[in-house]
Amino acid sequence: MAYISPALNVMVAAARKAGRPLVRDFNELENLQISMKGPADFVTSADKRTEKILIEELSKARPGYGFLGEEGGAIQGADKTHRFIIDPIDGTTNFMHGIPHFAISIGLEREGQMVSGVIYNPVTDDLYTAEKGHGAYLNNKRLRVAARKELAPSVIATGLPFLGKEGHARAAAEMAEVMNVTAGIRRFGSASLDLAYVAAGRFDGFWEHSLQSWDIAAGIVLVREAGGMITDLRGGAEMLTQGTVLAANENLHPQRLKLLKATKASA
C-alpha cells in the first residue's frame, strides 16, 4: 500500500475533486469557453476553475500555506515554510484537442525542498503519489525507475518549443544527437506525466528546457522516490529556478548530461 501522510491525503482529495468536472469538460469540448494567452498556449475556463477548486480545498485543510499556480501566480501565506505548487491542467493543448494525456499536478514545498507530489490524470484515473522518504506509487503500486544501463536500448522523452517560443534550433540539435544513440524519442506534451513515466520505468529519461516550477514540482519528488536522479541541465539542483530538467536512473543520467552538454557546446 502507498504511504499516505495527512498532507498527501489532502492533496489527493483535492486533485480528485478538481478532476471530476475536468472529465465532464473533456467529454463536452465543443461547449468549453476558450481564450488565447499566446500562440498555441490555451487558457480555458477549465484551467481557472480547476485551480480555484485546488486552492479552496487545500486552503481549507492547510490554512496559511502559500501557493504558486499557473493561473493565479504567487499567493503568500501566513506560514512561510510551506507552499503548494500547482498546475491545474498540465497538457492544456492535449486537453483542448481531445487527447486524454494531461494531468493535475500538486507539489508541496517545505522550507525550500519538495517533499510531496501528486500527479493525477482524471480521464485515465491514474494517480501518481510520492512522499519524501516513503517511495513513489501509481494507484498503490510501488514504482521504480527503469534499470537500463546503456543509452542504445533506451526510450527518452522530451518537450519541444512550439509556435512563438525560442529554442527550435537547439531542440533540433539535441534531438539529432539523442536519436543517434537511443532506441527512440517521445514527445507527449505534459512534463508532469513525462516525469511520472520516468518514475514508473516507462521512459528511461526525460529532458526539457523553458519549464515553469508548476510543470515539474511534483515530478521531482516522484522521480527521486522511485530511485531516479533529477537535476537541471547544468547538473545542479536548481530545476525550479532554472526551468530546465533532466531525469533518468543513476546510470543513464550522467551519460545523458554529458551528451546534452556536448550538444550545447557544439551548437
Task: For the chain, 267 residues long, give each residue's pLDDT as a single digit of tens.
Answer: 777 899 999 999 999 999 999 999 998 887 777 776 665 556 788 999 999 999 999 999 999 999 999 989 999 999 999 999 999 999 999 998 899 999 999 999 999 999 999 999 999 999 999 999 999 999 999 999 999 999 999 999 999 998 888 899 999 999 999 999 999 999 999 999 999 999 999 999 999 999 999 999 999 999 999 999 999 999 999 999 999 999 999 999 999 999 999 987 555
Give first-to-last CA distance, the chain, whole Å. 47
In Å, what is the CA distance from 157 to each residue of 3, 9, 17, 146, 196? 28, 30, 29, 13, 11
Chain centroid to CA 188: 12
Which residue has 515554510 as its cell numbers? 81
Are residues 235 and 159 located together in one domain of the fold? yes
- Judge if pTM exceeds 0.85: yes
Beta-carbon contacts of 111 under 8 Å, excluding residues fewer than 6 positions away, are: 81
Distance (Å, rounded) from C-alpha 179 to C-alpha 107? 32
Are residues 178 and 78 located together in one domain of the fold? no
**Pairs from 9-13 (Cβ < 8 Å, separation ≥ 24):** 10/57, 10/58, 10/61, 10/62, 11/58, 11/84, 11/106, 11/108, 11/116, 11/118, 11/129, 12/118, 12/120, 12/127, 12/129, 13/57, 13/61
Are residues 194 and 116 located together in one domain of the fold? no
Are residues 183 and 80 located together in one domain of the fold? no
Are residues 18 and 135 located together in one domain of the fold? yes
| 150: in domain | no
Q: Which domain holds residue 232?
A: 155-266
Are residues 98 and 191 located together in one domain of the fold? no
CATH number for 205? 3.40.190.80
Domain's final residue, options 90, 117, 142:
142
| 148: in domain | no
CATH number for 137? 3.30.540.10
Which residue has 493535475 as its cell numbers? 104
| 147: in domain | no
| 29: in domain | yes
Q: Measuring CA to CA, which residue among 101, 111, 65, 63 is closest to residue 86?
A: 65
Are residues 27 and 107 located together in one domain of the fold? yes
